[in-house]
Structure 1
Amino acid sequence: MILFGASGHCKSVIDIAESIGERISVVYDDNPKAAAVCHIPVKKYMDGTDGTDESWIISIGNNRIRKKVKEKLQCDFGLLKHKTATVSKWSTIGEGTVIMAQVVINSCTSIGEHCIINSAAVIEHDCQIENFVHISPNASLAGGVTVGEGTHIGIGACVLPEIKIGKWATIGAGAVIIKDVPDGAVVVGNPGRVIHDQ
């Protein structure tokens, strides 16, 4: 497997791979700052780089940058799930997504492509998570929640059942979401309130 992006998030992705015995051969980056990450060599990415016969993961935490990188790479994308994560057999996970340690994803949930489901997050039954979403550590989504493309759910946030969160929104750390959130909104507090919208 090959990673793109030698950031701090890359180190977490390497841990996930190592937990299941998946070998990472190289990490590519547009602007490498180090020769290696966790002893894995880092190389400058150039168009036409070898390795398109292997599966790739974009190991970049920023949702918008992850989407831009995905649009330029011509390769097959893998999927990484930490060995301690629990994912219902009735749920689906899209390519390029990483599922970190102690995550719980319950029945009939759909996780899109190139998402980050971070450590100890809980996603209950019947949730719909679109592409390029980041669910931060210890965030909890109750049943039937919908999260639009590119949205970031902050650390420790709670989302009540059947809530719809729009695209490219930001839910602040520890926020409690009790009503629907429009596209592009920034929501903080308990109960959650919009402090910025499109």
Structure 2
Amino acid sequence: MKNPVIIFGANQLGQAAKAILESNEVVIYGFLDDNEALHNKEIDGVVVLGKTEDDGFLKFIGKKCDAFVAFDNNKLRKSTVEMLKNKRKVMPMNAIHKTAWVEASAHIGHGNMINMGATIGNNAKISNHCIINSNAVIDHGAELGDLVQIGAGAVVNSEAIIGDEVFIGSGVTIVSGVKIGKGARVGAGSVVVADVKAGETVFGNPAQKVGA
């Protein structure tokens, strides 16, 4: 019997997480969100119960409910995860769509969202709190750090290494073996054929550094 889930964030990402979890017949207990204008309102049949640090609802997590954190802002995502660890001694669950393909040898950490049609290959490593959008491919032996976001249809080829908090836009191709440093950003549709330094933004085919 699967526990019901409280989703942190009633935004579009939270609603996408709801659809992913429901694809696996998981019941959504409710949303928590700090936007008071949403409180007590229904979103697609699920109520926004209150704020993210409302102890009246947090007390259920780890006992009667699991939690999923659905904020695409990394700072907010990290602070919510820390709050759950400190107050409830739990890590968020994974939300993996029933149509995603995850090889048995892949390593999947905590709090990841893997949307419909995504493919995670042999011995790939997905760390924690990553967002992998529809039809993305993480090929065999590739590694994602924490809080990585992968756009729809992007391909991270074999043995590429993606650092923490990297953003990869839709339709990007990362060539095999490439390393992308922490906090880098890759614009949509780019083809990355060489390593990208931490904090850099690159775009194009082949991808080149943009900005100062």
Q: TM-score if structure 2 supplies the norm length?
A: 0.88
Q: Which residue of 2 aligns with 1:40?
A: 46
Pick the aligned partner of 2:84 from 73, 92, 111. Answer: 73
- Partner letter of residue 132 of structure 1? L
Higher fraction of helix: 2
Q: Give the count of matched residue pairs.
A: 197
Aligned CA-pair RMSD: 1.4
Of structures 1 and 2, the larger Rg is shown by 2
Gaps of 5+ in 1: none
* Structure 2 counterparts to residues 30-109 of structure 1, below 5 A: 30-34=34-38, 35-45=41-51, 46-48=53-55, 49-53=58-62, 54-74=65-85, 75=88, 76=90, 77-109=92-124
Q: TM-score if structure 1 supplies the norm length?
A: 0.94
Deviation at 1:11, TM superposition (A): 1.1
* Identical columns (%): 32
- For residue 28 of structure 2, give the secondary structure of its aligned residue in structure 1: coil
Deviation at 1:92, TM superposition (A): 1.0
1:4 aligns to 2:13 (yes or no)? no
* Inter-CA distance 21–164: structure 2 relative to 1 (3 Å threshold): same
1:141 aligns to 2:173 (yes or no)? no
Is residue 64–residue 150 contact of structure 1 (8 Å, CA) maintained in 2?
Answer: no
Deviation at 1:65, TM superposition (A): 2.4
Instruction: Kindly report structure 1 stretches of 4+ aligned residues shifted beyond 3 Å.
Output: none
1:29 aligns to 2:44 (yes or no)? no
Deviation at 1:51, TM superposition (A): 2.1
